[in-house]
Amino acid sequence: MKWLITGANGQLGLTAQNFLINIGQDVTALDSSELDICDKEKVFAVFRKARPSIVLNAAAWTHVDSAENNELEALRVNGDGAENIALAASMTQSKLVHLSTDYVFDGSAKSPIEENSIICPINAYGRSKADGERKVLSAYPEGTFLVRTSWMYSEYGDNFVRKIIEKSKLSSEKFSVVGDQHGQPTYTLDLVKQIFLLVNSGAECGIYHGTNAGETTWYNFARRILELTGEDPDRIIYVDSQAIRQSTLRPLYSVLGHKKWADSDLSIMRHWDMALQDALPSILQTMREANSKNAF
């Protein structure tokens, strides 16, 4: 199959490229310098030339805090840009996998949030992704898999796992991590494999929650990272959201349910702790290689 990946230099885009190429898929991967998804004419031209079977739209404004001061730009990318991709996918009759987020919910739930729950974002980033959801599903409902994910980490880029490891290596001092926000750490390789399963399964289009199973908090996630890397987890100090005065509101509970997978006779992704244990060796190796290069 012919894949087109947008946002190719992000965590998910890089993971998807490596996985798909390694299993013999035909992949065209474009980063933001090669394809501005807000440029409708360019998007349509790329789709006419590539004629992809499947599109993985990983292009997005992802910086939560900066979206607060740049909401119009976040809406342009995550809303209008996503719509352009959906319209182009409809034109070429490509299957579209569009990535969204747990931040489309307000955090008031007390149990895992199902796919058909009402969205109600509480920050600019969430509003921009919610706008993208509406526009994509309106433009191409019959061909879109809308996959919400959360707390992604990988060997690539700037993510929580790498930050915690780096912080623990830089100093022996204790440090604080917020402990009242509940969610699901998601390893990008597991997510890419789940997406591959989904688009090849014959399952109906619609909304799916692409997260590793189980739930935790940032505090307990950080403790587990230190445990698995041989560091002292008691170096991490619990704080709540109000104490750290984050500049942007975050949902306190954004654990996503997985009913749609069961309805489609598909297995859910494995528990987040199992995924973390498998991911850490390659994450640590990548970090060592980067530090070695920087030393010269």
Residue tagged active-site, from 125, 153, 208, 219: 125
Contact call for residues 188 and 154 (beta carbons, < 8 A)? yes
Contact call for residues 13 and 64 (beta carbons, < 8 A)? no
* CA 56/CA 112 separation, integer angstroms: 26
**Residue 100: strand pairing partners:** 148
The Cβ-side half-sphere exposure at 56, using a 13 Å CA radius, reads: 32
* CA 178/CA 197 separation, integer angstroms: 34
Contact call for residues 178 and 241 (beta carbons, < 8 A)? yes
DSSP, residue by residue, 62-111: --HHHHHH-HHHHHIIIIIIHHHHHHHHHHHT-EEEEEEEGGGS-S--SS
Give yes or no: 125 in active site: yes
Contact call for residues 15 and 156 (beta carbons, < 8 A)? yes
The Cβ-side half-sphere exposure at 185, using a 13 Å CA radius, reads: 24
Contact call for residues 154 and 15 (beta carbons, < 8 A)? yes
Phi, psi for residue 111 in degrees, rounded to 5:
-145, 165
Please list the active-site residues: 125
